[in-house]
């Protein structure tokens, strides 16, 4: 009976995962078809509307000077540009901002610091407060680790000639993708999201999202959709869907790239992923009734549902990890012939194939040196599998409506693998999930040995990917916690003749 239960649970998990695999196949077929579609084009800039650039930040002492240097290089008339530093910091970041504001005002920039002490609504609350203090009809948003190109506004603003356009979103790029294996993995995951998912959704008329940064909003669209909801950790997903359900149009520009800094340690990566997972589930709970009752086509509804529930994959992957050893025992210790069952279920396993294809083509179409990047794809798959502990907790909290603080992702001003390391970083602490990951790593190591001994080799690569991810995450977190500081980072160096 216990074997029947194991197999039944396995079947349920595989079939649920198949729904998301179908979505991946749809993305792949869209990708093939998209080669005949031209990306959205805009006319050259003819007029310069007033644009407000909002820079939300919280304790960003390592990157705030770099950010302001870049923003003040935007190729836009200074009398048509407002810069808002939306600062909720509790460290020396605020004083750095005050000094920078004073300096850049002497250079003719319309820049102001809006400092809050209560963090009400977190990032969404800060954006809302800034929105109430600008006359600009268009609002660009950049997180503290982003470095928009000087022509960013000239490439995005012309698309707003269409009065139905609410958002123009650019693609994220990575200034430190080659810093470590972890950053290379993150770059692959994000490249697939932008080069494939965002681009295909937009080209084929499905809902896409503003990614929280590196994009421009029409202020009227924000207000018409109900404004930022600071109670949702994924305030960008929430507002994006509400705006599109009201008929607003989104544009994604894959060729307009905004460089940013990837988290360089496992703790920062997991913190970011936890916030995205929990926030998206929160948004999904809120949005699903409206999606189902909308007049969207069946395929668009399916795409939207998958979009806001995608993080349900992680609890399924967690269960799958636990079932691995029992499944091996079914084959080796049961007297019942289950071979036909496993042959049938193996049909669903082809669902893993499109993910490899999407990662592959995202790299191939994006970089001249794409061949050198392909070696990290298996590790990207491994990282997704290992995130199942961290993100399952996030999904559960999102479903239960548990309130939590918006935890920022640490940024260190790291621009490459050869950055000097002479400045202390943020302290780290061990989370309970680390010990669960360690336990699963040990459990799956034993499972891999059992699979090898019993010559069940087909499943071995799957187990190895799981095992590597869990052990890498847990050992990296433990190593960081045992050090005096989480990470050492380089001291930012600026030309004091140009900046204060």
The residues assigned a catalytic role are 88, 236
Report the Cα 71 to chain-centroid distance in Å: 22
Are the C-beta atoms of 224 and 246 separated by less than 8 Å? yes
Give the separation between CA 379 and CA 103, rounded to whole angstroms: 45
Report the Cα 387 to chain-centroid distance in Å: 13
| Exposure string over 20-50, b if 16+ CB within 10 A, otherwise e | bbebbbbbbebbeeeeeeeebebeebeeeeb
Question: Residue 232: CB partners within 8 Å, gap ≥ 6?
Answer: 124, 238, 279, 282, 283, 286
**Token pair for 55:** 């820079």
């Amino acid at each position: 009976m216990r074997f029947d239960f194991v197999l039944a649970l396995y079947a349920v998990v595989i079939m649920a995962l198949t729904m998301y695999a179908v979505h991946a196949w749809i993305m792949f077929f869209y990708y093939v078809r998209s080669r005949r579609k031209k990306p959205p084009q805009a006319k050259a800039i003819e007029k310069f509307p007033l644009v407000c650039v909002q820079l939300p930040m919280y304790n960003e002492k390592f990157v705030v000077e770099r950010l302001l240097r870049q923003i003040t290089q935007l190729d836009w008339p200074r009398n048509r540009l407002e810069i808002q530093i939306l600062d909720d910091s509790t460290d020396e970041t605020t004083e750095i901002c005050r000094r920078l504001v004073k300096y850049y005002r002497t250079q003719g920039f319309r820049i102001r610091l809006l400092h809050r002490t209560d963090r009400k609504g977190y990032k969404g609350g800060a954006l809302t407060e800034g929105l109430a203090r600008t006359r600009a009809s268009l609002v660009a948003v950049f997180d503290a680790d982003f470095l928009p190109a000087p022509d960013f506004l000239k490439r995005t603003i012309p698309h707003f000639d269409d009065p139905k356009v609410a958002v123009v979103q650019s693609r994220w790029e990575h200034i430190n993708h080659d810093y470590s294996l972890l950053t290379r993995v993150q770059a692959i995951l994000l490249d697939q999201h932008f080069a494939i998912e965002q681009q295909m959704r937009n080209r084929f008329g499905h809902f896409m999202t503003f990614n929280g940064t590196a994009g421009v909003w029409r202020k009227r669209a924000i207000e018409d959709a109900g404004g930022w909801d600071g109670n949702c950790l994924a305030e960008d997903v929430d507002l994006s869907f509400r705006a599109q359900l009201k008929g607003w149009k989104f544009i994604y520009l894959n060729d307009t790239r905004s460089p940013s800094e990837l988290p360089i340690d496992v703790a920062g990566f997991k913190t970011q992923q936890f916030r995205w997972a929990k926030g998206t589930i929160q948004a999904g709970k809120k949005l699903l009734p409206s999606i189902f009752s909308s007049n969207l086509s069946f395929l668009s509804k399916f795409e939207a549902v998958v979009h806001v529930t995608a993080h349900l994959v992680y609890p399924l992957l967690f269960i799958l990890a636990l079932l691995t050893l029992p499944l091996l025992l079914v084959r080796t210790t049961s007297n019942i012939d289950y071979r036909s069952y496993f042959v049938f279920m193996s049909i669903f396993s082809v669902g893993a194939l499109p993910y490899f294809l999407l990662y592959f083509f995202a790299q191939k179409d994006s970089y001249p040196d794409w061949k050198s990047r392909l070696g990290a794809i298996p590790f990207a798959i491994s990282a997704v599998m290992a995130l199942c502990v961290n993100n399952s907790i996030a999904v559960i909290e999102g479903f239960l409506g548990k309130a939590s603080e918006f935890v920022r992702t640490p940024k260190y001003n790291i621009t490459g693998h050869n950055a000097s390391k002479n400045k202390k970083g943020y302290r780290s602490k061990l989370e309970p999930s680390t010990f669960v990951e360690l336990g699963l790593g040990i459990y799956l190591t034993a499972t891999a040995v059992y699979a090898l001994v019993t010559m069940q080799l087909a499943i071995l690569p799957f187990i190895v990917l799981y095992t590597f991810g869990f052990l890498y995450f847990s050992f990296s977190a433990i190593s960081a916690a045992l050090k005096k500081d989480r990470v050492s980072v380089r001291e930012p160096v600026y030309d004091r003749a140009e900046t204060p």
